[in-house]
Structure 1
Amino acid sequence: MAAVDTAVPSDVDEALAEFQGQLTLIFARARSLWKESAARMHPELQPSGYRLLGFIARAGSANAHQLAESFEMDKSVVSRQVRMLEDLGLLESRPDDTDGRQRVLTATPEASEALGELRADHANRMREALAALTPQEIQSASKVFRLLAEI
């Protein structure tokens, strides 16, 4: 088996470097979009609170343990964000019927409506940005992201 010369980058290495650079830009854009979306929902809402609220709304409900696990956040950080979301009138909390130690968190109707409007706006932006791609190209991109999500 021949040794690979690592001093000269291969086409794959160059393509991966370009791909990583583009991912960095996408992550930066996502953080910017979360910040913009949070401000549109409420001027005091932080991007991390917006992300938690979006998760809860998509799931229908959640508890603080699920949020901490899903977002790999400390429970105290989740607790502060949940409290802020409740104070802003975006989140409701009630005792869990099966485990009184847990609280079931749900988005308020107003928050759900605002999130729906933001999602529609984001979907329109995505549709415009990807308009030049075929459905097969979009499916290929989805496959790449799915593979990356598994590492």
Structure 2
Amino acid sequence: MSPVRSPETEAAIAEVEAQLGVLFARVRTIWKDGAHAVHPDLQPVGYKLLASLVRAGSCHAGALAEQLATDKSVISRQVKLMEELGLVVSAPDPTDGRARILTATPEAVEKINIIRDRNQAMLRSRLDDWTGDDLTRFATLLARLAE
């Protein structure tokens, strides 16, 4: 049974939902633009995967699927495309011949880092006038929401 909420609380929850929708739409646009900046044939999900691979370093496809809460088949298709585009190399895991270790190519790392620097600069400019306490509280609230 869900708790009884005041009309003000219900309205606030609805506004949070609406603002998250706006934020997610902007994030999807950033992924789409980032994908195109890396390679015109790269899809946004491929950009998300590649950016995660650059951040994490070499890893198994299964680990990426788990980290991104994505089906392994999606990862496989994207890895195949990214290999064809020269963005990722895949090598057998020396400890488990069935598994593959993925590594972003130097070109992909460079492009992702340029895009990431640009995105972080944009975020910093939007948060410049926030106090340290505001930023800490915001990060804490986001972490609570993601739990």
Q: Same fold (TM over 0.5)?
A: yes
Residue in 2 that maps onto 1:92: 89
Question: What is the Cα deviation at residue 118 of structure 1?
Answer: 0.6
> Of Structure 1 and Structure 2, which has the larger fraction of its residues in strand?
2
Question: What is the Cα deviation at residue 109 of structure 1?
Answer: 0.6
Answering whether residue 20 of structure 2 is matched by residue 23 of structure 1, we say yes
- The match for 2:113 among 112, 116, 123 is 116
Counterpart secondary structure, 2:120: helix
Question: What is the Cα deviation at residue 54 of structure 1?
Answer: 0.9
Residue in 2 that maps onto 1:102: 99
CA distance in 2 between partners of 1:127 and 1:81 (Å): 31
CA distance in 2 between partners of 1:75 and 1:15 (Å): 37
Deviates more, 1:16-25 or 1:67-76: 67-76
Counterpart secondary structure, 2:97: coil
For these two proteins, the number of residue pairs brought into alignment is 145
TM-score, normalised on structure 1?
A: 0.90
TM-score, normalised on structure 2?
A: 0.92
Gaps of at least 5 residues in structure 2 are: none
Divergent runs of 4+, >3 A: none
Deviations for 1:45-78, whole angstroms, at most 9, x for unmatched residues?
A: 0000011111111111121211222223222221
CA distance in 2 between partners of 1:149 and 1:16 (Å): 15
Residue in 2 that maps onto 1:75: 72
Counterpart secondary structure, 2:90: strand
% same residue: 46
Gaps of at least 5 residues in structure 1 are: none
Counterpart secondary structure, 1:89: coil
Residue in 2 that maps onto 1:132: 129
Deviations for 1:125-144, whole angstroms, at most 9, x for unmatched residues?
A: 00111122111101111111
- The match for 1:41 among 38, 42, 57 is 38
CA distance in 2 between partners of 1:30 and 1:100 (Å): 37
2:127 counterpart letter in structure 1: L
Counterpart secondary structure, 1:44: coil
Question: What is the Cα deviation at residue 17 of structure 1?
Answer: 1.6
CA RMSD of aligned residues (A): 1.6
Deviations for 1:88-147, whole angstroms, at most 9, x for unmatched residues?
A: 111011111111111100110111111111111001100111122111101111111101
CA distance in 1 between partners of 2:11 and 2:69 (Å): 32
2:74 counterpart letter in structure 1: V
